[in-house]
Structure 1
């Protein structure tokens, strides 16, 4: 008995004797539910380009889609996921942080934004297209950069999904990615020009091989063995597009209905209506003016236009459809639609907490792990090689030097007073440290402490008092001794017993 026949026999036996899983039976309700058994890579190769094109169209033309992607990028990146070097030497750490901050302004090879702007663009691309690529671009010393390194963003369409072949040496190219014999990524075969950009005079279809060490592939895989990304819009594209069509049709219907104000009926349609005029299409029309009285012929009647209303089901239908879309995209309904009417404190907080958990997981597993860590490590190497940083024994202690904590953007409090009190009580009870609390707010504890110390010193020097603190005694501007008010000048005398 063949393997396929044996499996069929076992399945029939299980269904016949034990009832089996209803989800696996070919009952009347599931007779037409025959999903594809192809691997996700096959499905992406067949439909990935169309899904990405439709997602980009929706973002350009649909307000809900545009709002969803901006909400996702704003919550994931905000004003940037920023590094905090874990170098023990405070002086070296300050030098590294200062140099990094200066370099972020030069990170973009196109010059449109800084490194944190590239993070935001990456989050948008992964949400919209399922993936994005960055290529390290080393620069010459004569280019005048603080650290001779920049990043070039490459959209997913630049890596052809249809490039699959066996090449010399035993390597294989799958969906544009070259693998060695043990499955490691060794290169990416990018197109030299975007397949949809007619303004680029480059040769259509010409590719260039880029080593994998020079490429960052940012992707949020959903299946084991997945090679390329799939848009987050994929589960919601159909509903978003049809809902958009429905809204357009409803608007057009109301517009056409509102064009007609009155209708005149007559039992003798052959007889002309004296005050009526014919338009370009030959239809008899009559303009109305305020206070106008029109004399009708015997038998003629006036009927007012009564366009059908959308009815009471329009808003509930819209709401339920947008709920399904928000669930498909993983975006809270209020963030998708900007509709706050149905929100109250409790349900808004629950939705926000759940969304933040998902965003936090995405920040760690995708943005930080795939993009930020690799950029930081390459930047440190280039900074040391270029002489911009002097780190003793860097080659031997490289792992210690590149150790870094990445601080995501701070979350705004839903109820600032209650949330702040809860945070303080947790710190006082020893349930969390100030360092942890500050990191959750997107700040570096050492930097905050240094700023506080500097502020306190400046307040003491100037005699400033804030809050409930006791007045500070200002330090005299001159160090010389000053005469005490009311003292009598004269020679000093010994104290009496």
Structure 2
């Protein structure tokens, strides 16, 4: 209580009580009280109830926009390219010896087997592994989730096609039915859960439910153990079983942008078709008999063929030519579109410059946007690696150990599948400034050459081998490179 309240309480306890009650009434969150001017949403359903109601319709709308809206397709491509990239997420094996050093021989064997497997990693043999990553990331971002079944060893009617008997089966979200729920058996939205809510298996259609001529029912489901299923998903709430599209919060804005742009485009197209009319003045000057008529006496429409520099001298008394102006193109379209695209990019987590292809601005502004935005891409990459890439690599090493790459005795148990996962590097806006910055960090001892190489999205070992081989070949031809001169001068 403040001094005034204490004084009132001393002389008039009842008044002090009323003051205290009034203050309690005023002590509330304005955001928790609806008003006439502000909507108040009272949907307090659990996470899985909300996904049951909205995940599938949102997924359908996101797919429709990807197919029919250039901005949506470009935004998805931007996210996929920055998460996976042209060469996919790289893997650098790091099995350890007892002294903590990397077992180079075993790492090389694993890497060689991995390169062979990456040519045909999935059951159809249509996609190499970097393309598999892009397909998986696209489905994950657009649909909110995707599935992949791990198929190790001998599988009936399956030809792995690689030295390591291991394949992936990519599965769309539609294949695991949202509507399949049986609380008595612990099944929620097609996922079998134990008493702690952990997934122990998935119920999957044997064929796509909407891609064939035959009606598919729940009798066509098969059970896949969770140990053989990967399930990257966007999870917003604790306890949520299935994922929801990243476009959930921006679909309405995207549809509005699409409709608005189409309306403005049609209006501008109509405005480009020059339309004129004949304006008549005083009605007393109007002579209907002066209008051209056909043989039966019916008035004929007047046609005036416009040509550059023409002179119209066929107008009657009191007539003049008028042009219809639709005020199109609208000069405010660009400003409005920029504002909407910035909000869309912020909600989706993509870069505005990349989504809109608007690269105006200074070097500092573009780099600031890139630095802040790259955190979002890095988070998505981390999620994708943890849910998709890392489990695949660990299972690959386990299968390879039983086939073509036995684990050496001097590898510390549990480290045989250790690896460094190399995502996409942040691109350089000004290569000279970026290179000089890294050079100063390395020379000052604040960064290593291997760290710089990894930040550029390369494998340090591969770079060293390429440099060594190139210099060896150059020396055989008696060629001196600038890099050799800089190395020799720095070692003196």
Quickly name the TM-score band, shorter chain normalised. 0.7 to 0.9
TM-superposition CA deviations, 1:22-49 (whole Å, max 9, x none): 222344444x322421122211110111
| CA 287–34 in structure 1, closer or farther in 2 if over 3 Å, else same | same
Q: Is 1:57 equivalent to 2:57 in the alignment?
A: no
User: Once structures 1 and 2 are overlaid, which stretch shifts more, 293-302 or 113-122?
Assistant: 293-302
Query: Residue 193 of structure 1 contacts residue 200 of structure 1 at CA under 8 Å; is this kept in 2?
Result: no
Q: Shift of residue 253 of structure 1? A: 2.4
SS at match of 2:321: strand
1:317 alignment partner, one of 324, 327, 336: 336
Q: Which residue of 1 aligns with 2:322?
A: 303
Q: Shift of residue 59 of structure 1? A: 1.0
Query: Residue 384 of structure 1 contacts residue 390 of structure 1 at CA under 8 Å; is this kept in 2?
Result: yes
Q: Which residue of 1 aligns with 2:379?
A: 361
Q: Shift of residue 90 of structure 1? A: 1.7
1:37 alignment partner, one of 39, 44, 47: 44
Q: Which residue of 2 aligns with 1:454?
A: 469
Q: Does 1 or 2 have the higher relative contact order (CA < 8 Å, sep 6+)? A: 2
Query: Residue 293 of structure 2 contacts residue 300 of structure 2 at CA under 8 Å; is this kept in 1?
Result: no
Q: Which residue of 1 aligns with 2:124?
A: 110
Q: Which residue of 2 aligns with 1:480?
A: none
Q: Shift of residue 397 of structure 1? A: 5.2
Report the Cα distance in structure 2 between the residues aligned to 1:346 and 1:14, rounded to whole angstroms.
53
Name the TM-score, length of structure 2 as normaliser: 0.83
Q: Is 1:153 equivalent to 2:164 in the alignment?
A: no
Report the Cα distance in structure 1 between the residues aligned to 2:346 and 2:159, rounded to whole angstroms.
51
2:266 alignment partner, one of 226, 229, 252: 252
2:28 alignment partner, one of 20, 31, 35: 20
Q: Shift of residue 435 of structure 1? A: 2.1
Alignment of 1:121-132 (within 5 A): 121-132=135-146
TM-superposition CA deviations, 1:85-112 (whole Å, max 9, x none): 1123322211111110111011022333
Q: Shift of residue 292 of structure 1? A: 7.4
- RMSD over equivalenced CA pairs, Å: 2.9
Query: Residue 178 of structure 1 contacts residue 189 of structure 1 at CA under 8 Å; is this kept in 2?
Result: yes
Q: Shift of residue 269 of structure 1? A: 8.6
User: Once structures 1 and 2 are overlaid, which stretch shifts more, 294-303 or 417-426?
Assistant: 294-303
SS at match of 1:160: coil
Give the number of equivalent residue pairs. Answer: 448
| CA 330–292 in structure 1, closer or farther in 2 if over 3 Å, else same | same
User: Once structures 1 and 2 are overlaid, which stretch shifts more, 374-383 or 265-274?
Assistant: 265-274
Query: Residue 291 of structure 2 contacts residue 300 of structure 2 at CA under 8 Å; is this kept in 1?
Result: no
| CA 23–176 in structure 1, closer or farther in 2 if over 3 Å, else same | same
Query: Residue 267 of structure 2 contacts residue 329 of structure 2 at CA under 8 Å; is this kept in 1?
Result: no
1:418 alignment partner, one of 430, 433, 439: 433
| CA 27–148 in structure 1, closer or farther in 2 if over 3 Å, else same | same
2:397 alignment partner, one of 380, 387, 390: 380
Q: Which structure 2 residue ranges, 5 or more long, are not aligned? A: 1-20, 96-101, 488-492
SS at match of 2:167: strand
Alignment of 1:47-446 (within 5 A): 47-78=54-85, 79-87=87-95, 88-138=102-152, 139=154, 144-167=161-184, 171-197=185-211, 199=212, 201=214, 203-205=216-218, 206-266=220-280, 267=283, 268=286, 273-274=291-292, 284=301, 286=303, 288=305, 290=307, 291=310, 293=312, 295-341=314-360, 343-364=361-382, 366-385=383-402, 387-393=403-409, 398-446=413-461
Report the Cα distance in structure 1 between the residues aligned to 2:22 and 2:392, rounded to whole angstroms.
54
TM-superposition CA deviations, 1:388-413 (whole Å, max 9, x none): 2232359x955221111111133321
Report the Cα distance in structure 1 between the residues aligned to 2:172 and 2:439, rounded to whole angstroms.
45
| CA 77–143 in structure 1, closer or farther in 2 if over 3 Å, else same | closer
